[in-house]
Structure 1
């Protein structure tokens, strides 16, 4: 199993909390979906997967309900719980929405965030870079997602944060796939470096620009791994700002 130790430096400054069985089961299943051990379209056999995780059917069922609410699992008649498979159209639409939300979150964060908020996000970024240096891909990805959520969190707009989280939950596997090769991963890292510099400079327009560019390139990075539809957006089409 993948090491699930949290690498968030902020954890060192807070009490150690024991996660509930439900939370731990959800986290493990989510990781299995993100890194492809449970692939899109796979049926999740409660008994088999539960034995692998060392839990009974009851916590498995409750965890699957949570992941269904997040949009990572769907219940298919005759098959039961199945890992949701997104088409190109689905992903394009979600990335388009995330681009709009994250760009505005970045502008608001630059205008409203405290120095402590920005320092906290810089600490997450720096730890993420350490994980990139040792190629700890899944743990890097978790902090990467914390940074994207962090822009929304420090924007000071709770509704914007809610909207961002509801879409990002569905995009975890897709965004993970986007860093599947060394060159793609390096390009994404360079864009994150630009983001944190713009945030520290309180330059909302610069942050919005690099976020937009980052998400446009995310689409280019992931689209070949997705099933096509007749109406799928072409590779060169930029996402609307």
Structure 2
């Protein structure tokens, strides 16, 4: 812009905000995180940077930046000279992390029942019915996204920032396993029953009841995941024999 324009009182154009790069970064992180959650990228799988770049339509720089974020979240392992691979939790890690999450979810429910607003409850109801619709269509991905949104809304409604930060960090490590826990139809339907009971407890503002339901809900998921893992390990061992 010329000095004469400024002197004439014209407003100089704003500097271009550095939004696009951050948006790309967040989008890449979210896409890869979803690939991991939905099992497109399985635990232990070595990541092929070239293939990921082609799939996402990006260069290696934003991909590597995204992998660093996911490594910090515990979803990716990066080893010098060996590249990146999807993290694989041991049986003990699965058991202990689900136990921790069961406590976090229970505490969230106890506080949320007391502190949740009417608007938040209405939003959770809408998510609940959308989740049920996905179940009738056998849309596991759609079901899971709404399911997790419900749990997240309950945690947010607890209005406890320390709990919130811990919940987010722990839940990121469990999302892929929580998704897998619904692979068996009886387990999926059992989880829906739990959500029906959660909604009733929320409507009644019964924090103790909601806390109990959420704790057992997560422990049931733990047991379902460990059962699946046990079968897969047995099948792998049989193939090697």
Common fold: TM-score over 0.5: yes
Cα distance in structure 2, aligned partners of 1:34 and 1:208:
25
Consecutive unaligned residues of structure 1, counting only runs of 5 or more, are 1-17, 229-241
Aligned residue in 1 for 2:55 = 52
Alignment partner of 1:21 out of 21, 24, 28 = 24
Aligned residue in 1 for 2:17 = none
Measured after TM superposition, the shift of residue 227 of structure 1 is 6.6
Cα distance in structure 2, aligned partners of 1:106 and 1:208:
5
Higher share in helix: 2
CA RMSD in angstroms, aligned pairs only:
1.7
Deviations 1:69-94, CA, capped at 9 Å, x for gaps: 22111112442111000011101111
Cα distance in structure 1, aligned partners of 2:115 and 2:51:
48
Deviations 1:30-74, CA, capped at 9 Å, x for gaps: 111112121111111111111122111111111111211221111
Cα distance in structure 2, aligned partners of 1:52 and 1:112:
43
TM-score (norm 2): 0.83
SS, match of residue 187 in structure 1: helix
Aligned residue in 2 for 1:146 = 149
Instruction: Say whether residues 1:160 and 2:163 are aligned partners.
Output: yes
Instruction: Say whether residues 1:100 and 2:111 are aligned partners.
Output: no
Cα distance in structure 1, aligned partners of 2:63 and 2:142:
23
Aligned residue in 2 for 1:187 = 190
Consecutive unaligned residues of structure 2, counting only runs of 5 or more, are 1-19, 232-241
Quick check: 1:106–1:152 contact (8 Å CA) kept in 2? yes
Quick check: 2:102–2:216 contact (8 Å CA) kept in 1? no
Measured after TM superposition, the shift of residue 188 of structure 1 is 0.8
Aligned residue in 2 for 1:116 = 119
Quick check: 2:134–2:142 contact (8 Å CA) kept in 1? yes
Query: Looking at both structures, which has the greater relative contact order when contacts are Cα pairs under 8 Å and sequence separation is at least 6?
Result: 1
Measured after TM superposition, the shift of residue 131 of structure 1 is 1.4
Quick check: 1:87–1:227 contact (8 Å CA) kept in 2? no
Quick check: 1:87–1:226 contact (8 Å CA) kept in 2? no
TM-score (norm 1): 0.83
Instruction: Say whether residues 1:172 and 2:168 are aligned partners.
Output: no
Quick check: 1:103–1:207 contact (8 Å CA) kept in 2? yes
Measured after TM superposition, the shift of residue 122 of structure 1 is 1.5
Cα distance in structure 2, aligned partners of 1:34 and 1:100:
22
Larger Rg: 2
Instruction: Say whether residues 1:86 and 2:83 are aligned partners.
Output: no
Query: Residues 35-74 of structure 1: matches in 2 within 5 Å?
Result: 35-74=38-77
Cα distance in structure 2, aligned partners of 1:164 and 1:37:
24
Quick check: 1:125–1:147 contact (8 Å CA) kept in 2? yes
